[in-house]
Amino acid sequence: MGDMKIVFISDIHFSPGQDWSQCIWKYTPNEELPGLLDCFVDIVNLELKPDMIVELGDRIIDVDETRDIDNTRSIHRMLDERIACPVFHVDGNHDFVHVGKQKLAKLLHNPILPFVRVFKGYKCIFFDSLDPMLAGVGGSVSDEQLAWLEHEMNNDDLPKMVFSHHPLNHHEIHRNFLIPQETVPLMKLSNSKEVISILENGKNLLFHAAGHMHWWSFRVSPKGTYLVNPPFSAAHPERTNAPGWFMEVDVRPDGKVDAKVHSIVPRRVVGDFTNR
């Protein structure tokens, strides 16, 4: 078992052809996203060459069933069909409003959540943080899925990476203008304490990664590392020149995690983090 490189992308919010000028999505310039995703694919395939991509949810803005299906298919064409390494997905709160979770999995050629993949000797655990969805934004994890998660965290000694759309930690985000104040209580899992306890009391947790927050974050506890990926498409306050943020993560079997936050516009590394 050697080192592993993962790239995270999330909160793409691809839903073109709509008038978002009177809501928070006015900061998502959809006309820029195909070109920005082209750049992302080139960076991934030609420069970073990761072992795996994880798309951490909210790939679209929900409109209606027909448009949501079309936009989900477009994301698959623009990413999965062109990226040289495996791509896995977790669903965000906007992704399944009009399209069922099983249908989404079929559209993305992705396993139905929750699921596990062992990749290069690492156990990758993907769970559903919208089980159920709360108030259209928040999420929880059902008792059935908590039992599944506890089993998967303890039934082997493999180093484990865990992925969901919703973060597990509280974040003080009153200065994040991309999150409406009334939704702040819904930005982490409602039963995050139970999930954290299962992860940190399981065997060989490396990290948990999420999106949803529309900013990036790195936290370390004595038993694990917690990453929040920034939004790909947020262009605040200008409403143009979306930065195309994403995260590159290098993982070692001994638990060392190195994370870099990248922007595409302009092309640079804007943050660098290590847990030791």
Cα dist from 122 to 3, 6, 125, 241, whole Å = 10, 12, 10, 37
Give the whole-angstrom CA distance, residue 215 versus residue 27. 14
Instruction: Compute and round to an integer the Cα radius of gyration of the chain.
Output: 17
Q: Chunk the chain into consecutive blocks of 10 residues (it has 276) and report each block's average pLDDT, rounded to whole numbers.
A: 96 95 86 98 99 99 98 99 99 97 98 97 98 95 99 98 94 70 83 98 98 92 95 91 98 96 98 95
> Does an H or E element contain 176, and which?
none
Q: What is the pLDDT of residue 175?
A: 67
Give the DSSP per-residue string, 15-35.
--SS--TTSGGGG--GGGHHH
Pair 231, 184: CB distance under 8 Å: no
Structural domain boundaries of the chain? Answer: 4-274
Angle at which helices 192-200 and 143-154 cross, to 10° = 20
Nearest residue to 113 (alpha-carbon basis) of 164, 147, 52, 176: 164
Q: Write out the CATH class of domain 4-274.
A: alpha beta
